[in-house]
Amino acid sequence: MIGRLNHVAIAVPDLEAAADQYRTALGANVGAPQDEPDHGVTVIFIDLPNTKIELLYPLGENSPIQGFLDKNPSGGIHHVCYEVDDILAARDQLQATGARVLGTGEPKIGAHGKPVLFLHPKDFNGCLVELEQV
């Protein structure tokens, strides 16, 4: 069911410093910051030859990653995103195995303008999993 790894997201305490480190010390192709007010984050995508790294920084109050940064002040790997062809079919199939979907269970539109869902980390080895329909 799952296809490509769309991205790995890393929550960072200083977005500009993290972007600069990936650009200069690690020599990667770093994009521009994008505010995603519906998700409470500012993101920067880093293009690797086969996938992307998404740097995440809180935007506004009640950002869903503020709690993560409070617990992990240096930052940390926040989630992985797998691509699926049909997000509703994937959701239904996973829920049938007992996996929990976060929020209302209905897809939202993600940073790439495509439907996304998040799965409960306790059901996936402590790993927050995002599904994105491509």
List residues binding its own copies (CB under 8 A): 1-5, 8, 10-13, 18, 21, 24-28, 48-51, 53, 55, 72-77, 79-80, 82, 93-94, 97, 99, 121-122, 124-127
Q: Cα-flanking dihedrals φ and ψ of residue 27, to 5°?
A: 65, 35
The residue among 28 and 102 lying less far from its own copies, judged by its C-beta, is: 28
The residue among 113 and 126 lying less far from its own copies, judged by its C-beta, is: 126
Q: How far is the CB of 62 from its own copies (least distance, A)?
A: 22
Strands 76-84 and 129-133: parallel
Q: How far is the CB of 132 from its own copies (least distance, A)?
A: 13
Sign of the alpha-carbon torsion through 95, 99, 100, 106: negative
Q: How many residues does the chain have?
A: 134
The residue among 75 and 110 lying less far from its own copies, judged by its C-beta, is: 75
Instruction: Report, as residue numbers or ranges, the catalytic residues.
Output: 130
Sign of the alpha-carbon torsion through 125, 58, 9, 118: positive
Q: How far is the CB of 74 from its own copies (least distance, A)?
A: 4
In sequence order, the 6+-apart residues with CB closer than 8 A to the CB of 110 are: 39, 116, 130, 132
